[in-house]
Structure 1
Amino acid sequence: MKIMNVEFVISAVRPDQYPVDALPEFALAGRSNVGKSSLINKMIMRKGLARTSSQPGKTQQLNYYRVNDEVYLVDFPGYGYAKVSKVQRAQFGTMIETFLSDREPLKMVFLIIDIRHEPSVDDCLMYDWLKHYEIPVCVVTTKADKIPKSKWDKHVKMVKKKLGFQTGDYHVLFSSETGLGRDELWAIINQTIAETSEEAEETEEVSIEK
């Protein structure tokens, strides 16, 4: 996908702060410091728009990035960081559950997993949460450049087994350093947008016929 323009729109914490232009949204969820911001920067080909930090737990809102005036990438707060207070964790949980349970423009969640490590309990809970709400999910195993290519299949199998990965969900191997997986993720985004547009048109046609 050719990136023509990208804009950071808002850091939202409540539904009344979410954008109202109804553009399709693709959210990124994952543990603190798993590389969500780096992935966004590689996706949009901008080095510093999504701020990266060595301090886990820095992102505490839903950060909206509008790409080509066609789609939003939504960066979730990272989860699983022990130094974040219990109150903050509860607030994050409520914010994310509210978003996931009732956000019509949300088309898919990218669940970001560090390929070097077995998914955490929080990763598994997030995956189960997405399946409960019947939200399409793409598991993105990132930091692929950190392990030998010969070990990719073994680590991907480990991740899928731990998550209970279901047939029909997407998986993409990704590296923010090399750009591996970038085109594949954009293809999934474009395909999902096209499919949901077709479904909406079909629903509208049925309503008109009735």
Structure 2
Amino acid sequence: MNVNNVELVISAVKPEQYPNEGLPEFALAGRSNVGKSSFINKMINRKSLARTSSKPGKTQTLNFYKIEEKLFFVDVPGYGYAKVSKKEREAWGKMIETYFTSRKELKAVLLIIDLRHPPMDDDVLMYDFLKYYELPCIVIATKADKIPRGKWQKHVKMAKETLNLQQEDKIIVFSSETGEGKDKVWGILGDFQN
């Protein structure tokens, strides 16, 4: 998709704040600092619409980015970050769970992992949660530019095995640096909108 028009519509914490335009939504889930903001910025051809931070745990709301008046990316708080109080983590957990389990506009969740390492326990928990609620999942394995192309398949296989990835779920090798996988992701998102 050729993206020219993007806006951050709202940072929501409860359902009554969600946009009510009825457009398809794609949530982005992943560990803090896995590169969700960089992924969003690459997908929408922006340098810094989604704020990247060296401090993990920056996103504390559900950020709804409207793209080309056609769909929303919904950036959810990163998980697995220890410097946030247990109480705050529980509040985020509830907020995310409410969104994931009650939002009819949600078409799929993009689970962002780091291709360089096997998925962590938190990633596996998130994947299992999505499967439990029968939410379609697209695994985006970022930071592909950090390892030689010849080793990608080995790392993809490791990710699939660790997550116990089901056949209907796709895994896409992605790089925010080179744009690797970007067109493929737009293609898959297009399938969900039809």
Counterpart code for 1:89: R
- Summarize the alignment of residues 94-109 of structure 1 with structure 2, pairs less than 5 Å apart: 94-109=94-109
Q: What is the CA-CA distance between 1:192 and the residue it aligns to?
A: 0.8
Q: What is the CA-CA distance between 1:76 and the residue it aligns to?
A: 0.8
- Summarize the alignment of residues 1-210 of structure 1 with structure 2, pairs less than 5 Å apart: 1-194=1-194
Counterpart code for 1:166: Q
Gap runs ≥5 in structure 2: none
Query: 1 CA distance for matches of 2:188 and 2:172?
Result: 10
Query: 1 CA distance for matches of 2:117 and 2:91?
Result: 27
Query: 2 CA distance for matches of 1:91 and 1:85?
Result: 10
Identity of aligned residues (%): 61
Q: What is the CA-CA distance between 1:13 and the residue it aligns to?
A: 0.6
Q: Deviations over 1:32-62 (max 9, x none)?
A: 0000000000000011100000000011111
Give TM-score, length-normalised by structure 2. 0.99
- SS of the residue corresponding to residue 32 of structure 1 reads coil
Counterpart code for 1:134: E
Q: What is the CA-CA distance between 1:193 and the residue it aligns to?
A: 0.3
Alpha carbon RMSD of aligned pairs, Å? Answer: 0.6
Counterpart code for 2:170: Y
Q: What is the CA-CA distance between 1:4 and the residue it aligns to?
A: 2.7
What is residue 197 of structure 1 aligned with on the other side? none
Q: Deviations over 1:119-147 (max 9, x none)?
A: 11110010000001111100110000001
- SS of the residue corresponding to residue 172 of structure 2 reads strand
Query: 2 CA distance for matches of 1:41 and 1:181?
Result: 14
Counterpart code for 1:58: K
Query: 2 CA distance for matches of 1:33 and 1:4?
Result: 26
Query: 1 CA distance for matches of 2:46 and 2:131?
Result: 32
Give TM-score, length-normalised by structure 1. 0.91
Counterpart code for 1:171: I
User: Is the 8 Å Cα contact of residues 156 and 171 (structure 2) preserved in structure 1?
Assistant: no
What is residue 203 of structure 1 aligned with on the other side? none
Q: 1 or 2, which has the higher helix percentage?
A: 1
Gap runs ≥5 in structure 1: 195-210
Q: Deviations over 1:165-210 (max 9, x none)?
A: 000111111000000010001011111101xxxxxxxxxxxxxxxx
Q: Kindly report structure 1 stretches of 4+ aligned residues shifted beyond 3 Å.
A: none
Larger Cα-atom Rg: 1
